[in-house]
Amino acid sequence: MKAALSKLFTLVLVSSLLLTACNVSMTSTEEVKSEQVATIMWATVSTRLTQIAVGTLIAEATKIALYTATPTITETPTITVTPTVTSTPTSTFTLVPTATFTPLYTSTPVTPTVTKTNTPNPIPCNQAAFVADVTMPDNSTVYAGQSFIKTWRIKNTGSCNWTTAYSLGFQSGNAFSAPASVPFTNTVKPGDTVDLTVNMISPSTTGDFTSNWMITGPNSSTFGVGTAPGTALSVKIKVTSIPPNRDPNTVYDFVANYCDGQWRTNASFITCPTAGYDYKNGTITRSFAPILENGVMDDEGALITIPAIGGDGFIQGQFPQFLVHSGDHFKATLLCTVNKPKCSVTFELLYRINGTNTVTSLGSWDKVSDNTFIPVDVDLSALDGQSVIFFLKVSSKSDSTDDFAQWMAARITHP
């Protein structure tokens, strides 16, 4: 490159001398023009030299940029191009390359993991879990005015004992003629299960009904089943109309109209129907699926009568007056029920003419638990034309513990 510059510089110098020699005889004005031409020529040469120098610098910079090694740079190289022309200032170019460093390894800070110690939640004092519907699962069908027993089985999942200070109480819905609350009879420890039973009576109207119940603790706090406070224990029933009497000649149905009667025992008057089976104060209820003494379920309606406790225990129902016609008959099937081996009672049919005080027996029948039943048929023709009040009575012979007496299909019929 230096040789090329020398040749170019020599050529320019010779040309200038020739021009000067050719114009030596010209006037001062022409000399001025010659000087202007020389100036123009020098500017052209200077520009060309600058272009060459810049091109060279760019080429050198490109070579440096293409160099891929990444050593630690300790000096900054300086490239200097100095074109030398007489009476011309020296131009100096300095190129400072920038080195790019690519890190071979990037360190990512590691956040230490803190291990948390899980502290178990304390078990609530009062908490329960549902186990099963022992009786009357949801949507069971019952007849209007029918007594039934609802039993839930639950587990104590809390940390406190359920003592006899606890009770199961009605919360919402239809109470089904049940008591407002039923106290616990035994202590239930955490982890133990218990059966909670409520005696109920279905409404006299048909439809779907629900009754909701909660447990109440000694401090009046209420809770149900599930995570405290829990949900209510419920019973859901479908109430349907009672089935018609199977005897097409029936003129009065004692089973269908059993609560038209006034019921009393040796203890007191009792409400019809009775919720559940009360062997202490007596019971009057009915069933359209009575269980016979041999364990067979029948499909006819039956009155269930249980005398009150005591040596003279009895239960008696007094029915509204009925106009008797010749040919009318009282019919029924008398029996105890299954698993009542000590059942020993006397059934009796009595009447009183309306307007009189004399009560007369139309017949009595002794019954014990022996896997049999007694069919009864009493002709009422002798009372033709009389307005008669009938009584159905059951008396205990001794211990009334198993005295579960049933009047199945009790009716007045006119064949």
By DSSP bridging, strand 233-240 and strand 140-143 are: parallel
Domain co-membership, 216 together with 365: no
pLDDT averaged per 10 residues, the chain (length 415): 51 47 43 46 49 49 44 44 45 46 52 62 92 96 90 97 97 95 96 96 95 94 90 97 93 96 95 89 93 94 94 94 98 97 97 97 97 97 98 92 96 96
Is 114 among the domain residues? no
- In this prediction, residue 113 carries a pLDDT of 63
Domain co-membership, 171 together with 61: no
- Cα 142 to Cα 68, 79, 115, 172, 202: the distances in Å are 95, 110, 59, 20, 7
Could you tell me the two tokens for 47?
């520009």
Residue located via tokens 């009879």: 185
- In this prediction, residue 91 carries a pLDDT of 46
Domain co-membership, 225 together with 332: no
Q: Find how far residue 167's CA is from the centre of its chain.
A: 25
Domain C-terminal end among 206, 240, 274:
240
Domain co-membership, 302 together with 382: yes
Q: Give the range of the structural domain holding residue 32, as residue numbers without chain letter.
A: 1-99
Domain co-membership, 271 together with 297: yes
Domain co-membership, 269 together with 400: yes
- Domains of the chain: total: 3
Domain co-membership, 56 together with 169: no
Reported as half-sphere exposure (CB side, CA atoms, 13 A), residue 60 has a value of 16
Reported as half-sphere exposure (CB side, CA atoms, 13 A), residue 188 has a value of 26
Domain co-membership, 194 together with 254: no
Checking phi first, is residue 220 left (phi over 0); if not, alpha (psi -120 to 50) or beta? left
Domain co-membership, 390 together with 298: yes
pTM for the model:
0.63
Is 121 among the domain residues? no
- Cα 92 to Cα 58, 78, 86, 89, 182: the distances in Å are 15, 11, 16, 10, 111
Domain C-terminal end among 99, 117, 138:
99
Residue 67 CA to residue 287 CA, distance in Å, equals: 106
Q: What is the CATH number of the domain that holds 284?
A: 2.60.120.200
- In this prediction, residue 229 carries a pLDDT of 84
Residue 305 CA to residue 216 CA, distance in Å, equals: 33
Domain C-terminal end among 99, 120, 151:
99
